[in-house]
Structure 1
């Protein structure tokens, strides 16, 4: 890096400490700015004083990749480095043997990290505005799914304590407690006493209200039989109280389900506007929603990953080798983008039924004594390497190119 100055920012919720360091290590300026527009302008004026221009912007190091301050700095097209707080803490010992700590010292340490070791750190990617919006929506949708799962588990645990008959009634229902039928039925009859009094007419009405179109009569008969079957019961007043708690937990589940569905629709809508959407969804096992999650994490700045190996390491698909002397251990990677790794397992699992090549690759790994998770991770490693190639070369997925061994096996023998 040929910059003549480097900036470090120790951020907080209401203020930020700034340090500007020269290329030879001298402290040029320090300041504390507010977390507002006036503070941002003060930062820009300070940087301009020390040689910041649109052609040669001063790079900035900060311990977060999110927030308004980071967004405004990225909008100026300057290099912004998000330094891991644990990494910054290791650098602190180089400047303070007595282990002292202050906001100004932390800002100066961040600036010196860029001055001495910029090559060991990567700037935030120059993703497009559309990809940044997709990232917000896709991550929020994933959070809503996790919230929905948590709310469903809480409700399930509560029902097990006083209404096991309801769990038996919906155990074979797709999506379980999160299904529209389960939520509609539980809202109408949150206790065993109320559920046992539901008539066939009422059950048919509830099933229709939940949106079911077929098999209404048979489902109503089944629910009536299950809900009226003998089961263990709490005392009457206790049962009523637990019914009120059920309604409160159900409202949380309803909100989580609605949020997940709304955010999924918004994520898909934004994702399908992106030019890379066609390439990503050409891969087996990737739909618009999972594709949006993948694009949200890898972005569309193609200079972000130098090669497929870098992307595989970022996704946690590539293993880590630890060698010392004659000892060599190959382990699963723990430090990774957890969101990309999570969607990777979903992608790999879905590809098993959508791609003969993916299925064959998985089966070979299983035959080589890999466990299910390890085989899926290996398949994800293969698929995300193919994705890197397709995105950089602007080509669609080709099964014969991705799995040439399978194509060779399927090729008819010459006469």
Structure 2
């Protein structure tokens, strides 16, 4: 056993742990390096169960310096928090991969929770080198990950509700869509929500006075151009529009108000989480490096950090990070046929953030814009060119994080030589 090996021994025998995770109870299995089942337990998902698990591991040689590695099919929750203390390696095994391993032990396709725990323990016994343990991210990094992902989810939820509201307004209230069309991200703006609360139907909207419209805009926090906007909206509301029958229109107005309450809550949640991210992210040691890259603001940089973590040993090289992000192409070959395509198995959140990063960098970095243009001239479509740009920039990010350097535009996108320029 090398000095960096953290696996626990009982006597001269290595011990591996597998846990079949469930909502209220968990099944635990311990096997040795010969594949023999050494112990099994059924524990509850509470403090008493966690204590029983820790005592069981200690009984079979688990120590602070040489903890027993654990395989489990989840990467979050209180049980994971208990297991990740100290130097322990915790392996989050994909349930699909675990199902394939199960077929190696039983051809009858039977399934049981104790049997799954044994399968997970044997995965570590035979193929631990082929699986990646959970990264040893700092508590600050993990807290930023929670906030950044929650803020991203709240934005997706907000947009989904805004789309539902827009579809509903099209059915009976086209005047509202016309009045708010000139405002960016209109249905999520506080002015729009206040106006819809004041006039949930087109009939009520047509009766709004200039004073009432101005008051609604002020309640939403608008400071400038209130009189002009109120007059413009009033003219649109009082124009001639098709109407639903009065009873149907009132019913649709009540439905719209109910949906508006959900959208209002989603907008508030998104704003509060964004403020939490802005407060927490600058405290991280990697924040300065991430923010030095063109196209990355606090929110987007926090999403990048949330997915790649701050464990410097997580990725062996930049190629591993690029594959994880789904930005590098993958070659599929069989016989005489081969194809180079984009990756389907990837971190979807990181890939989504990378698309936004590459797009925003086009306006803030001349080198990134020139790289994108060259890819388009060579025949790449827009998405392929942006993916190639993201692939290059995330490789540069890996380099800067490893060397603790800020982004350098000249080093990242050096000017082409005279020979290259003439060849182009």
Please name the residue that 2:287 is paired with. Answer: 277
Q: What's the offset of the Cα at 1:66? A: 0.6
Question: Is structure 2 residue 95 aligned with structure 1 residue 85?
Answer: yes
Q: What's the offset of the Cα at 1:25? A: 0.8
Question: Is structure 2 residue 391 aligned with structure 1 residue 391?
Answer: no
Please name the residue that 1:338 is paired with. Answer: 348
Q: TM-score, normalised by structure 1?
A: 0.97
Please name the residue that 2:335 is paired with. Answer: 325
Please name the residue that 2:414 is paired with. Answer: 404
Please name the residue that 1:44 is paired with. Answer: 54
Q: What's the offset of the Cα at 1:6? A: 0.3
Question: Is structure 2 residue 309 aligned with structure 1 residue 299?
Answer: yes
Q: What's the offset of the Cα at 1:194? A: 0.8
Question: Is structure 2 residue 141 aligned with structure 1 residue 141?
Answer: no
Question: Is structure 2 residue 46 aligned with structure 1 residue 58?
Answer: no
* Separation (CA, whole Å) in 2 of partners of 1:115 and 1:302: 26
Please name the residue that 2:391 is paired with. Answer: 381
* Separation (CA, whole Å) in 1 of partners of 2:377 and 2:192: 41
Is the 2:83–2:90 Cα contact (8 Å) retained in structure 1? yes
SS of equivalent to 2:172: coil
Question: Is structure 2 residue 213 aligned with structure 1 residue 203?
Answer: yes
Q: What's the offset of the Cα at 1:327? A: 1.3
SS of equivalent to 1:311: helix
Q: What's the offset of the Cα at 1:325? A: 2.6
Q: TM-score, normalised by structure 2?
A: 0.95
* Separation (CA, whole Å) in 1 of partners of 2:278 and 2:178: 35
Q: What's the offset of the Cα at 1:405? A: 3.3
SS of equivalent to 1:396: coil
* Separation (CA, whole Å) in 2 of partners of 1:207 and 1:55: 63
Q: What's the offset of the Cα at 1:77? A: 2.7
SS of equivalent to 1:226: helix
* Separation (CA, whole Å) in 2 of partners of 1:42 and 1:405: 63
Q: What's the offset of the Cα at 1:178? A: 0.4
Instruction: Please give the per-residue CA displacement for 1:38-64, whole angstroms capped at 9, x wherever unaligned.
Output: 111111111111111111100000000
Please name the residue that 1:412 is paired with. Answer: none
1:108 aligned to which of 113, 118, 124: 118
Could you say what the CA RMSD is over the residues aligned between the two structures, in angstroms?
Answer: 1.1
* Separation (CA, whole Å) in 1 of partners of 2:44 and 2:222: 55
Identify which range, 198-207 or 256-265, moves more after superposition. 198-207
Q: What's the offset of the Cα at 1:191? A: 0.4
Please name the residue that 1:413 is paired with. Answer: none
* Separation (CA, whole Å) in 1 of partners of 2:19 and 2:415: 52
* Separation (CA, whole Å) in 1 of partners of 2:325 and 2:210: 52
* Separation (CA, whole Å) in 2 of partners of 1:297 and 1:38: 32
Q: What's the offset of the Cα at 1:176? A: 1.4
SS of equivalent to 2:16: strand
Gaps of 5+ in 2: 9-13, 419-424
Q: What's the offset of the Cα at 1:214? A: 1.9
Instruction: Please give the per-residue CA displacement for 1:46-102, whole angstroms capped at 9, x wherever unaligned.
Output: 111111111110000000001110111112330000000000000001111111110
SS of equivalent to 2:268: helix
SS of equivalent to 1:101: coil
SS of equivalent to 1:302: coil
* Separation (CA, whole Å) in 1 of partners of 2:331 and 2:415: 27
Q: What's the offset of the Cα at 1:326? A: 2.4
* Separation (CA, whole Å) in 1 of partners of 2:35 and 2:245: 75
* Separation (CA, whole Å) in 2 of partners of 1:255 and 1:128: 31
* Separation (CA, whole Å) in 2 of partners of 1:214 and 1:268: 27
Map 1:24-43 onto structure 2 (within 5 A): 24-43=34-53
Question: Is structure 2 residue 75 aligned with structure 1 residue 72?
Answer: no
* Separation (CA, whole Å) in 1 of partners of 2:200 and 2:76: 42
* Separation (CA, whole Å) in 2 of partners of 1:209 and 1:269: 27
Name segments (4+ residues, structure 1) moved above 3 Å.
Answer: none
Q: What's the offset of the Cα at 1:404? A: 1.3
Equivalent residues, number: 408
Map 1:92-241 onto structure 2 (within 5 A): 92-241=102-251
* Separation (CA, whole Å) in 1 of partners of 2:383 and 2:330: 16
